[in-house]
Amino acid sequence: MSSIPATAPPAPADNGRRALRTQLLAQRAALPARAEADARIAASLSGLLAGLAVRCLGFYWPIQQEFDARGAVAQWLAAMPGRQAALPAVSRPGAPLDFHLWTPDTPMATGHYGIPVPDGTDAATPDALLIPCVGFSPDKFRLGYGGGFYDRTLAALAPRPLAIGIGYEACRVPLQAQAHDIAMAWIVTESGAF
């Protein structure tokens, strides 16, 4: 059961987080040398994944100038038979994410919020998740879009999947963790994996 209520009242820090989120999204949209940064993130992510014993990797469909992990995930899948990848789907607001198997050839449908989701593939339970970060702190707490989907998902899955945040160095900021926040095991940026 999630520790985050489906209709949580706004926390006092929400207005500050909302303003920070807006600022960081603008910064991410204006990043210079984006192709170079993305190539470095892909290399760092590939190196990290090669050293982890992950069988099913959950990741995200890129929106709002997020790093596009599809190429790195496709390479990871091709490197060893038996690996699986899965994309999230929102079954309903306030619920943990559901994951469905994905390959580069998977037909996609439009899911909640207009985000593509696998069309007709089996459900999956990832043992590691790539999680997009609008911002992140040096102690590996992430700032997302404010919907709480990944926090609820990490809290609900047992065993808890390895959480790997993906972000850009320009979005590394001090964050005050909230009671429901779960630190990432790893953060991957254009500067490497830590």
* Lowest model confidence (mean pLDDT) among 6-20, 64-78, 135-149: 6-20
- Topology (CATH) of 34-193: Rossmann fold (3.40.50)
Annotated binding residues, written as ranges, equal 17-21, 66, 142-150
Contact criterion met (CB below 8 Å) for 188 and 45: yes
The predicted model gives 38-58 an average pLDDT of 97
Annotated binding residues for substrate, written as ranges, equal 66
What single-letter DSSP state applies at residue 119? S
Closest of 146, 167, 73, 157 to residue 123, by C-alpha: 157
Beta strands (DSSP E) in the chain are: 56-58, 84-89, 98-102, 108-110, 116-118, 123-124, 128-132, 135-136, 142-143, 162-166, 186-189, 192-193
Annotated binding residues for ATP, written as ranges, equal 17-21, 142-150
Q: Sorting pLDDT into bands at 50, 70 and 90, what band is 123?
A: very high
Q: What are the residue ranges spanned by the domains of the chain?
A: 34-193
- Mean pLDDT, the chain, as a whole number? 90
pTM summary value? 0.89
